[in-house]
């Protein structure tokens, strides 16, 4: 996914996006690090966009493509000590 994004950026703007500071995507691993470092408790909201949207991972697998991105909404609060 990151490679596709970077290729599209170069095609559109004529230079690599790696020159711009970016984490690219928030992953489950990055959220785990934030939780451990800062004691944040996350609530994950998964919007429902309909059955066609829900079938995207299955269709990608069936077509031999990469897993599509998930779009989640996160809210966080400092864990009480």
Range of the domain at 6: 2-78
Mean per-residue pLDDT, 7-24? 74
Q: What pLDDT is attached to residue 81?
A: 66
Q: What pLDDT is attached to residue 23?
A: 64
**74 forms bridges with which residues in the sheet?**
44
**How many independent structural domains does the chain possess?**
1
Q: What pLDDT is attached to residue 50?
A: 92
Task: For residue range 34-70, list pLDDT tens digits in order.
Answer: 889 998 888 989 889 999 999 999 999 999 998 888 8
Task: Say what percent of the chain tops pLDDT 90.
Answer: 21
Find, among 41, 37, 71, 44, the residue nearest to 56 by Cα: 71
> What contacts 24+ positions apart, CB below 8 Å, involve 8-15?
none
pTM metric for this prediction? 0.53
């Amino acid at each position: 996914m990151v490679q596709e994004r970077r290729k599209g950026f170069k095609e559109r703007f004529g230079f690599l996006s790696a020159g711009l500071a970016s984490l690219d995507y928030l992953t489950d691993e990055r959220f785990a690090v934030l939780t451990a470092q800062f004691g944040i408790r996350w609530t994950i909201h998964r919007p429902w966009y309909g059955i066609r949207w829900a079938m995207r991972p299955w269709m990608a697998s069936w077509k031999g493509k990469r897993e599509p991105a998930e779009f989640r909404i996160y809210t966080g609060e400092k864990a009480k000590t």
